[in-house]
Structure 1
């Protein structure tokens, strides 16, 4: 369970916070009084957001920038880290698979979250919640993730993120690591046929995080609490 401070306020870091699900999470956290550190490539997009929101430039494809957060956020206790940033990559099936595209997707969707966890671990240990929530996807499930599309790179990256998070949970019992499938969300990435309103998904994700305990570390659930098969 993510512990809230004596004033009922947490410090929450959210990656990919300038749009879509990340922005909905930011707004809901800010509305409940949390301090939000919003990591994004377009900090100017968050100008005028109400509440205690600090926008910090970060491109998860840039290892140097990720490592630089150690200095930028040094000494700041963090209660909750929500790793939401992701890219989709080519969607044209096997014909469009390339080393460059696969490497780019894996860099943002897998390596980036691992490095961000490493860099911010001291901050998380200094906080109360000590929780890392990875926004994964059912698309990375071996059992449930086969659909008629051409998303080779994205699906492979989410499967890799799932394993990486399981390994983090195994290696680091001091933190709670959660894998969360947000649903088919009505965002730019989700497309026009998506089923779940972004505000509903964000609310469900925050509820799952609030209810989680250390015993849930390494588990994979949907935004509304259902287990996802590996």
Structure 2
């Protein structure tokens, strides 16, 4: 294990390899494009394999709702060093509140938003340990904050809120488990972004959010592991 001084020093920012889930559209696609634009090798994962948007963007088929698909991805990438893994793929589920909560919908949201990032962390841990940056990023949401999640937002999406709260706990646990291998793990809040999920009334432009997230990702060190921050750099309370 490296010393605490080395662990907290700035990490290399030269182009490396980044894997992004949910890379076919929205925030994931924008993050993939930003990294590809800087010469990174981008492993762009999505349910439907997309044509490469740049020479350094490599499409991979991944259904995060299918544990076998995640296992297959891990097998395909065996021996490949990955500097950054961004768990971005997510669904919102029902927004009608308690009255419209249904078991199948709730469990699907939990599988995609919580279990899948954990399975991806499990499958790709050797790849991260072999990388230079050694960073696992969970795209979470302030909606999952017990302290702040309902301060100015009373939408009735139980499944989404519960899933992001659980993902935040997964971040804390993974940060503890991965520390010994020098891998940092963080949760990031992208803001209310104008995407298919966020809708047209959202207040944050997708590129603004992606660039803010990328800046945080690019400057994260082991000193930040286990933290929860917004795209603009503000700390979010758990």
Task: Please indicate, yes or no, whether the TM-score normalized by the shorter chain is above 0.5.
Answer: yes
Aligned pair partner of 2:147 in 119, 143, 149: 143
CA distance in 2, matches of 1:65, 1:50: 25
Q: Deviation at 1:208?
A: 0.4
Structure 2 counterpart SS, 1:172: helix
| More divergent stretch after superposition (14-23 vs 167-176) | 167-176
Aligned mates of 1:39, 1:64 — CA distance in 2: 15
Aligned to 1:119: 123
Q: Of the candidates 133, 136, 144, which is equivalent to residue 132 of structure 1? A: 136
2:194 alignment partner, one of 179, 186, 201: 186
Task: State the 1:2 CA deviation.
Answer: 4.5
Tell me, in whole angstroms, the C-alpha distance in 2 between the residues paired with 1:212 and 1:62: 30
> Is the 1:31–1:51 contact (alpha carbons within 8 Å) kept by the matching residues of 2?
no
The structural deviation recorded for 1:3 is 2.3
CA RMSD of aligned residues (A): 1.0
Residues 1:37 and 2:37 aligned together: no
Q: Which runs of 5+ in 2 are unaligned?
A: 1-9
Distance, in Å, in 2 between the alignment partners of 1:42 and 1:154 is 23
Counterpart selection for 2:12 from 3, 12, 35? 3
Distance apart, 1:95 and its partner CA: 1.1
SS of the aligned residue for 2:45 comes to strand
Tell me how far apart the structure 2 counterparts of residues 95 and 104 of structure 1 sit (CA, whole Å).
18
Aligned to 1:93: 97
| TM-score using structure 1 length | 0.95
How high is the TM-score relative to the length of structure 2? Answer: 0.92
Distance 1:48 1:141 in 2: 36
Work out whether residues 25 and 202 of structure 1, in 8 Å CA contact, stay in contact via their aligned partners in 2. yes
Residue correspondence of structure 1 range 46-125 to structure 2 within 5 A:
47-125=51-129
Residue among 136, 155, 163 paired with 2:169: 163
Contact 1:2–1:130 under 8 Å retained in 2: no
Q: How many residues align?
A: 225
